[in-house]
Amino acid sequence: MPDDANKTKGYHHLRPSYFSSQQYDAQLEYRHNLLKDHLPERPTRVLEIGCGQGTTTDALARLVLSHSPHGHIDALDPAPLSQVFSLEKHTYQSDGCSPFTLGQAQAYLTSPGYGFPELITFHQADPVQFLLAEDERNKNKKWDVAVLVHSVWYFRDVDSLAEILQSLKGRVKRVLIAEFALHATVKEALPHVFAAIARGTLEGLKLERGVESSTENMRCLVSPEGIKQVARETGWKLEREGVVVPEIELGDGDWETNSVVGEGFEREIE
């Protein structure tokens, strides 16, 4: 394995306790490789939108620190800090770990014992409102890149993505978006695609009927072509794109497929 791919190794004593070894290593290495290959060269000021529990934030921090001791990451997520996140719930059921909330996970990543207390600032904030507030505080504040890694599907709808991309104009040089492609390169991934379509369709119907309280992570089911169209319509130009096939250990397909299997999903349909 190349040396740069090993930058996620050697942190086992720092691994958040709410993940198993295999889970966290797979999640972190996937994000490290994705960011390493697609981030603009040597960014030091990063705006992350939809950070959740901070796994991508963790990978970003290690990459930024690798070339600058003075970088900074602003990581945004509007979700309640008391929300128990889905990766943990899977771990809790299988490994017996205690439940972790978003707030606890984010606090862990900025604790002195973990290593990034000065590098990361978490904000519980809506991205558009955060940028408007930053305009009032410091109109000259800008970031090298805005990063949205597996957060677009969490949005309320495609209009939310358009509003965010429009708000980023003039504040960031580039935007990196990574989301599942809605097609399978191997047959083992087909259940994940079908699950995404099923969940996304149901969440769309809920929205049409005025149900706004969903916390599901597949609400805004938009394809890569759809994302590119929204980007063009909001004034962004595509520089490059690619496809990353994650290792099976990533686990997202299992977790998201499980969300549409069983009586709970059937009751939601009814």
Query: pLDDT tens for residues 221-235?
Result: 999 999 999 999 999
- Average pLDDT value for residue range 12-27: 61
Does pLDDT of 48 surpass 50? yes
Give the model confidence (pLDDT) of 127-153 as tens digits: 999 999 998 888 889 999 999 999 999
Q: What is the DSSP letter of 58?
A: H
Q: Which distant-in-sequence residues (6+ apart) come within 8 Å of 192 by Cβ?
A: 180, 184, 252, 253, 256, 257
Which tens digit of pLDDT belongs to each residue from 64-95? 999 888 999 999 999 999 887 644 444 434 44
Confidence at residue 105, expressed as pLDDT on a 0 to 100 scale: 86
Per cent of the chain over pLDDT 90 is 42
Asked if the model's pLDDT at residue 99 lies above 60, the reply is no
Q: Which residue has the tokens 């119907």?
A: 205
Report the alpha-carbon distance of residue 92 to residue 20 in Å, rounded.
10
Residue 17, pLDDT score: 54
- Convert 187-211 to b/e letters by CB count within 10 Å (16 or more is b): eebebbbebbebbbebbeebeeeee
Helix (H/G/I), strand (E/B), else coil: 215: coil
Q: Which residue has better confidence, 197 or 11? A: 197
Domains annotated for the chain, with CATH where assigned, are 3-182+220-251 (3.40.50.150)
CA-CA distance, 220 to 226, in Å (whole number)? 11
* Under 8 Å between Cβ of 17 and 97: yes
pTM (2 decimals)? 0.85
Average pLDDT, the chain: 83
**From CA 165, how far away is CA 237, in angstroms rounded?**
12
